Amino acid sequence: MRLKTVLLIFYVLQIFFTIAMKFLSYQGNDSSQLHEQILKYFTQEDVQKGIEYARRGFFASVLSDLIDFVVAGLFVFSPLSVRLEEWIEKKTGGRFYLTVLLFFFVFCAIQFLISIPFQYYFGFVLEHRFGFSKMTFPDWILYTAKGLGIGIVGGSVAVLGISFLLKKFEKIWKILIPATSLILGLLISILFPIVITPLFYEYKPIEEGSLKTKIFTLCNQANIQVENVYVINESKYSGHTNAYFTGWGENRKIFLYDTLIQNHTEEEIVSVLGHEIGHWTYDHQIKDILIGTFETFFLCMILGFLFQKFKTEKSISLRELYSPSTLPFLFLLLSLFGSLTKPVWSALSRYQETEADLEALVLTKDKKSFISTEIKMAKDNRGRLDPHPSEVFYYHSHPTTLQRIEFAERWKE
């Protein structure tokens, strides 16, 4: 069987699998036993609100995925990608890196034009319909433009960098690309709060008072040094709640959404931060970066091998590995591999979240606030309380709300 046929089979299987998972997600878990357990902590109205929000725009979501698959298929299984590169190459007079950059811009433009109606529908229309978004249309345009700009700049640097490594270091690129990804992963984790966050949000140091005192007491108890605690004006944009840590060493920062402060007691906020401290205590961020680096090395080995096999077979239009027209082919392979490794990453993430939950309980010794936080956050964010088991296994990065509550109920000091 030709490699192109094998790739086409996996491509079609991925389409059917993606759509099937969406239908299972839509269906949820109708177990009467689960429903009975949920109603110990939530009302039927809470359950229904979560279902309605999870099912929002279902058919639009399916249509969006199908269009993405069709576009990817056209670029990979037809000469379109190579023809586009050849056309750009003529316009640039054969200047390689300019050709790479323009190809990437055209590819991004096509994706953006296809996705923008769906972004508007999901990010603006539906978020307003469910009472989350407070953005005006101009706000949404600006927010989307900033995200697009960051994506283009970051993507351009990445594509040019990878093309350079592939072209100039044909024998050792499989080592250089993972090493570069490791360095970039560390840099991004440091620069994100300094460069990216201010582009989207206004934030200020938390006011002096009992909450700040409790937060720093918790950090000292966990031997975590924090530069400061900041409050983000999320309420300007939406009603969603969140909190997170960023940075390394003495430059660690804590960011709290103002919606979290508005909707939760100080004890509940401390419980949330206890969870975030847990991620630092267990070094989850650095572990994820290191595991991602090893995965990148493995993928580089596989992609290099498969590219040579496909090029030798000549069943798919391919030039050189560093050619920009090869990008869609590599993206498709990465997507297929990502589908295979997704449940592994999801399971790892759920395990880490459970470790962080345990640390929150150990640090605060406040089971009651932990449980009330889970209940409030599920209600505030319209979380689905009865997701399908297959969806949880394959996609969920966190245990379900009920699993986290029951974990806390079982915990003993």
Of 234, 268, 276, 391, the catalytic one is 276
Residues 6 or more apart from 196 whose CB is under 8 A from it?
150
Per residue, the 3-state secondary structure of 153-204, as one string, reads HHHHHHHHHHHHHHHHCCCCHHHHHHHHHHHHHHHHHHHHHHHHHHHHCCEE
Distance CA 106, CA 85 (A): 10
The candidate with the shortest Cα–Cα distance to 329, out of 320, 19, 298, is 320
What would the two tokens of residue 228 be? 């400061």
| 279 marked ligand binding residue | yes
The candidate with the shortest Cα–Cα distance to 391, out of 3, 23, 15, is 23
Q: Is 30 a catalytic residue?
A: no
Phi, psi of 365 (to 5 degrees): 50, 40
| 250 marked ligand binding residue | no
Query: C-alpha distances in angstroms, 318 versus 19, 303, 371, 405?
Result: 29, 13, 55, 52
Amino acid making up residue 290: L
Query: C-alpha distances in angstroms, 242 versus 176, 182, 381?
Result: 36, 27, 10
Of 85, 258, 357, 374, the catalytic one is 357
Distance CA 406, CA 385 (A): 13
Taking residue 246's Cβ as centre, other Cβ atoms within 10 Å add up to 20
Q: Is 276 a catalytic residue?
A: yes
Distance CA 68, CA 332 (A): 11
| 275 marked ligand binding residue | yes
Q: How many CA atoms lie within 13 A of 384 on its CB side?
A: 20
What would the two tokens of residue 320 be? 């050189």
Contact 28, 386 (CB under 8 A): yes
Distance CA 359, CA 173 (A): 40
Query: C-alpha distances in angstroms, 408 versus 263, 277, 362, 371?
Result: 21, 17, 11, 7
What would the two tokens of residue 57 be? 């725009």
Binding site for Zn(2+): residue ranges? 275, 279, 353
Binding site: residue ranges? 275, 279, 353
Catalytic sites, residue numbers: 276, 357
